[in-house]
Amino acid sequence: MLDGLVLERLGDIFNRRISNLAGRNKAGYQMELLLNFCRDNFITPSLPGWSNPYQKVKDLTIQLDENGKEHRKNKLPSEEDMMLFAKLFHDAPSLGIEAEYFTSAIALLMQAPSRCSELFSLPIDCTVWEENRSGELKLGIRWVPAKNGNEGIKWVPTVMQDVALEAIERLKKISMPAREAAMYAETHPDNNGSMVYISKLVNWPFVDNAKKVKASEALLLYRDRELHAEHDVIQHSFVLPTVNIINARISRSEARKGVHLWKKHNILREDGSQPDITSHQARHWLSTKAERGGMDELTLANWAGRARVADNASYDHRTEEEKSNAIAVITIPENANTLEKIKCNLPISFEEIGKNLTGAAIVTELGVCEHDFAMIPCQRNGDCETCKELVCIKGFSSSLELLKVREVQVAAQLEKAQQSHKMGAFGADRWVSSHGWRLAHFRTKIRLLEDENVLDGTPIRIPDVYDPSPAKVVLLEKGLNIEVQSPDSIDSKAFNIMGDLLCLK
């Protein structure tokens, strides 16, 4: 029966079951909606009014006061601690199996924003190789998000691929005896000796709730007591770590006396203190680095396996100055020229490149194409370098670099054609003419793009007088006028013709 007595006990239930204030605020809000629904729909019309007593907790991640700064500082490991951990990972094989195992586990968390608990469902064949658009092979790791995210592949940065592969190989080597024991227990269910370890895995023989990864395939499996130097390993056993067990090896605050690896191996900061890292700090650290690098919010959410893009804000610990600078970079002034808009991936109108046409031009690797594709398809079939509708932009480094590459290529072809022409090869003279014409175009554009007197952002074309069309060449040879008449001149001629016709009457 839903009545006032139930409402009186809500506070005790919330305080007992929800430890953090933010969780109580969210639960209280949902409870208020539920009670209002019951009252408004006459399910319990006499139910007393109830409002959420838990105030919304300030998000310290976006606060600008000292508390916010301290919160962001505590969420991120220092650069010094990260470098010390990198050295520990490098030296781990010589420090023992404990250092090798736990540094490899944390190293995997450094590849993509992930939760420590997601490590436990990684199979030994978690790696994926795929070729990108440039033809380069990229490494990915199959992750299963712990909080409602989409299962998928998290791609490893190129500079970290060797680290990821080394960490996986180390864990494969360490987990092999435990995986063999798990396989034996799976294939011999009557063996009572394995029951104590089977009972610790709720979804046996699987280690994940989705029941996709078996214990015999789990990358982080190890034998009981194998990671304790003071105890003998229990043969034919298999266990998985917990988040607390992993944090106890790298965090001073969560470690028992003398357990963490920093103290065991006498690793100190420059000031003499010991490093302190938690497994979840890696997720915050990578997300913040990605924000600083300019990764867009949707890509970051997908990379981190987050269910909502809005959750990125909780992991963004950039300073106020960094955020304001990022906004300033993408804020384009009203008088921005063509080059500034190209750099910011903004559309370029035909008017901005001097063409009297409505619409947006196409930005290519060589410049801006002013062809109106709504009227007719491209007639050059991709031969853009000498096309009259290609507009190069001064300061656009991509076009200048490509034109220089093409200049070298065409110059070599021209030299070869000239040699063939001297030797009397049939048709070589036409190739000399063709390559010479193309090379003249390239060198003219390169000279204009390198001219210091030309301002950055200036559209550059080869003047029409130096490169007339074949139709204009024929008209000029016949002595005809090739100037395009303006509407005013046409109107005046039409008026004169009409006057002459009237006189004939």
Q: Dump pLDDT digits (tens) for 339-369.
A: 777 777 777 888 887 777 788 888 888 888 8
Q: Which residue has the higher pLDDT, 19 or 406?
A: 406
Strand partners, 214: 206
- Overall pTM > 0.85: no
Write out the DSSP string of 87-133. HHHHHHHHH-HHHHHHHHHHHHHTTSS--GGGGGG-BTT-EEEEE-T
Q: Which residue has the higher pLDDT, 189 or 416?
A: 416
Give the model confidence (pLDDT) of 185-221 as tens digits: 888 888 777 788 888 888 888 888 878 889 899 999 9
Contact 69, 28 (CB under 8 A): no
pLDDT, mean of residues 272-288: 87
Give the model confidence (pLDDT) of 124-163 as tens digits: 999 999 988 778 889 999 887 766 556 778 889 889 999 9
Given a cut of 60, is residue 505 above it in pLDDT? no
pLDDT, mean of residues 241-245: 89
Mean pLDDT of the residues in the chain: 82
Contact 267, 298 (CB under 8 A): no
Give the model confidence (pLDDT) of 466-491 as tens digits: 666 777 777 777 877 766 555 555 45
pLDDT score of 487: 53
Contact 286, 293 (CB under 8 A): no
Write out the DSSP string of 349-361. EGGGGT---SSEE
CA distance 229 to 96: 9
**348: enclosing H helix or E strand:** strand 348-349
Please report, rounded to a whole number, the percentage of residues in the chain having pLDDT higher than 70: 86
Contact 122, 220 (CB under 8 A): yes
Give the model confidence (pLDDT) of 36-84 as tens digits: 888 888 888 887 888 888 777 666 665 666 666 666 667 788 888 889 9
pLDDT score of 258: 55
Give the chain's radius of gyration (CA, Å).
35
Hey, where are the domains in the chain? 4-57, 78-276, 342-464, 468-505
Q: Which residue has the higher pLDDT, 15 or 86?
A: 86
Tell me the H-state helices in 18-115. 21-40, 66-75, 79-95, 97-109
pLDDT score of 362: 84
Given a cut of 90, is residue 166 above it in pLDDT? yes
